[in-house]
Chains A and B, each alone.
Chain A
Amino acid sequence: MPDSGIGAAVKRREDFRFITGRGRYVDDINRPGQLYASFVRAPIAHANVRGIDTAEAEKAPGVVAVFTGEDLEADGVGSLPCGWVVTDKHGEPHKAPPHWPLVRGKVRYVGDHVAVVIAETLAQARDAAELVEVDYEDLDPVVDLAQAGEGAQLHDEAPGNLCYDWELGDKAAVDAAFEQAAHVTKLDLVNNRLIPNAMEPRAAIGEYDVGSDSYTIYSTSQNPHLLRLILCAFVLNLPEHKVRVVAPDVGGGFGSKIYAYAEETVCTWASKKLNGKPVKWTAERSESFLSDAHGRDHVTHAELAMDAEGKFLALKVDTKANLGAYLSSFATAVPTYLYATLLAGQYATPAVHCNVRGYFTSTAPVDAYRGAGRPEATYVIERIVEVAARDMKMDPAELRRKNFIQPDQFPYQTPVALVYDIGDYEPTLDKALEMIGYRDFAQRRAESEARGKLRGIGFSAYIEACGIAPSAVVGSLGAGVGLWESAQVRFNPTGSVSVFTGAHSHGQGHETTFAQLVSEKLGVPYEQIDIVHGDTGQIPMGMGTYGSRSLAVGGSAIVKACDKIVEKGKKIAAHLMEASVDDIEFDGGQFKVAGTDKAKGIGEIAFTAYVPHNYPEGVEPGLDETAFYDPLNFTYPAGVHIAEVEVDPDTGETKIVDWVAVDDFGKVLNPMIVEGQVHGGIAQGVGQALLESAVYDDSGQLVTGSYMDYTMPRADDFCEFRVGMTVSECTHNPLGVKGCGEAGAIAAPAALMNAITDALGAEIDMPATREKVWRHAQAKLKAAAE
């Protein structure tokens, strides 16, 4: 095992600053002369705004300015765009009503941005925000997704609150297959709405510099270049070369920090208005609950057709997806292209059809949250397969095995557009069964029963499409951007290396893994490699981090840049050693003349490149290469998670007693970091299944607006996780990697709900709260007694 290259569990170099309190998050940054923004937010879900009286607030101590949507409108500030056009089943683009950073005439969810107060201190801004008088004319809210089509209309552009009615797959083939079916399993499912809750609340500082007519924005962003592009090209009409976005240490994202939000937009705009005074805003947690983009929120009916032996013939799925009050940056794509395309799962189901209707409701915007569409797809498939096994009285593991896509079928064209390049599902299942001790489950169940407890086991054989994404493919599906990644690898004259990546680390440990990668590729000691990310002023370009893409796409860009370095290094080495370029081999940091013992270290080559006194003709000085990598396909991580639970029928408590995760992420760079990603993902998936749920009441008030009402998973909700791996290397990127960031969150909800419903012998929806579990456990005991 190498000690710092590919495959080594190198301890993270970023940790030192975090464990000593020297991290630098946006709220830790203070700019000279900075002012503070506080937003006036809608207290009701749907209303016309008849007037906003800012006079009292303007007079309050310390207040510098109060702005409303009218001020932004007068300055030509645009709408926050949605970057993905979904074409509905009639060939029409989705309905795209405007999303103004500060409302114009109407509020559409509790927390909507009505005005901003800017003052010398935060306390003054908050106090004055209370003094802004808004005259509202109440309108009916639209809260219930199932009824969203019948409610009051939120946007003139969207009759029936319908954003799109979209489908994927061959409906005729599916209908024909259902006619042939020996058995059909049907299931209704709710995929509960979640609030991402990265522990660092969103924050922004907008700073305009009068002298240079340029802007610096400090933002808690997962993708600083993308934020810059959106703000410049669509919202604020700024020249991109005059705007620098810095996303320093960011305390978790999980999707919620991908998007361009109202707050950073307004702070940036206001700083110019106020002659270059920096304007800072940091969310209070209650603001995060109200206005971070939420996740999931589907209502689904699914049917699975099988032959008499349990072979899957067809799957049909009908989903209503909640998009919230406005379309967040990638909202439209999540319940369509990131969801329905995954409905084949790991199975060779010949026909799949999915219909999705996306609705506007008077709730916070909904967008990608860890997994984004793929957890919803896995939940549908893995729940219905489990229920089918129960219907057919078959072993759930064996029913899955029977339907797996076989190794010789790859590359495998699914009936829902994707082509899986590689996978090997059976060994992964076998390993998981072995690890959990499946053969002895019946015995463990009997032991639990003897203690008055109900034991259950649940499987989830998930698949995801990661390494997002081949630009031409997503472009043909409506994406407004390319999803390549860039890297710049720069040797310094003394032989150390600075690497600039467009990926952004907000917990993933890129500073460590990317340095491992470069060390392996260039043979430079790990300690002499520095990774720079999160600053558009330093990094050539970038698309950021989400969709488990950093290594598969960003890492591949680094490999390409390293290859260019080696190519150029060979020319310099050939010159110095008076050999032909074709005879130069590169290995472990040494350029060697093949078949001789002549060699030059890469450090000497770098020095020569910057002090080119004895140098090949026609070669530019310097050793600094940039590469862009556009993936050829998605990657397809897959695996099997098995959860074992024990339910206490007296209290309704569900105890997770064992958890096994076996994942195939392709090649693994740093197993310690990969396992950490799996743990964190499982915890979020368990949170969804057991504890978390965003609830709006009938009037559209967010009932779960703080940690007192929204139950976050705590340490004592879990057992130890047992993680195993199998490896089938991705065939189309230079590293053979697939991505690991979302797997746990994708796999876990179905595994846990399958285990709980197995224990209860009854169907329930997420979250499996104590009360629900207790009711069904009691009913089961009662039925058994009768």
Chain B
Amino acid sequence: MFLALRELRFARGRFSLFCGVIALMTLMVVLLTGLTAGLGAASVSAVDALPGTALAFSAEPKVSFATSSVSEQDQRALAAKAGVHSATPIGVSTAKLTGAVAVLGGVPGSSPTAGGVLVPPSLGLATGSHVRVNDQDLVVTGSTSEHSLNHLPAVYVSLDTWRRVAHTSGATAILVDAEPGADLSSAGLTTLSRTEAYSAVGSYSSEQGSLNLMTGLLLGISALVVGAFFTVWTMQRGHDLAVVRAIGASRSYLLRDALGQAALVLVIGAGLGTALATGLGLAASTAVPFVLAPSTVLVPMALMVLVGLVGATFAVRRVTTVDPLTALGAAR
């Protein structure tokens, strides 16, 4: 990297500008990734917190918590299957408390006595306070961790209470706890693993899909921008490269030097952008759902460097085709 480092210093204006572009692109990718994870958690963290190994919904073209409805026969059929330890009906619906909430009924471990409700601290309701959920008067009997479903805070009641709140006699889905590999197929039901069940939350798939598409597009654009920059840069110094070849450098020497240069610029740019995004994310995480974790910070940064290197490799590989002959006076 003898030449690479000196060129960086010499053309520092050009490279600073380019580092700035990479930093901004990385900033956007990291922010988007953090936001995607944050919105994902706001959509499905209550599903994630459910016990058991699988969830059974009524079979429909598009399985959804909003439309699923299961019966006691469904529950008994699943409970009778080999390898199934338990099959528990749960209720899931939206209701009005102080604001809109997701009401989960009958979740093992989070099921208070009849007439009671467990609420997250963020709702600001003290234990013992009387609340009205839809048309039911309930008492707060304790608090739960902060979970949410479809961007609504999750509150927990018993299945009977849920039935009164939701005005139904059935249940929404069946929580299954089974041995790995157990056959959970049952007529009229669609059984999904916990992560598959994310898609049963209305907005989750389309939300994550569009955000991931944006991130992917940004990464693609970054590869093109990096490629374009290094194409121009390599062409600009074509004559210099011919001279370096003529004074004895091999093709691989030039390639290593040029790739090292690209990698260094990318790491600096992506590092700056990531630092900036981390700062912004910390500041914004109180206002917007934003997850700061290695997977939402380091992974997009590494991806950025990686796609940048792909773009740079395409651009820089032309250093190997530089003809040292062009360094000589009139010979073309």
The yes or no verdict on A and B being binding partners is: no
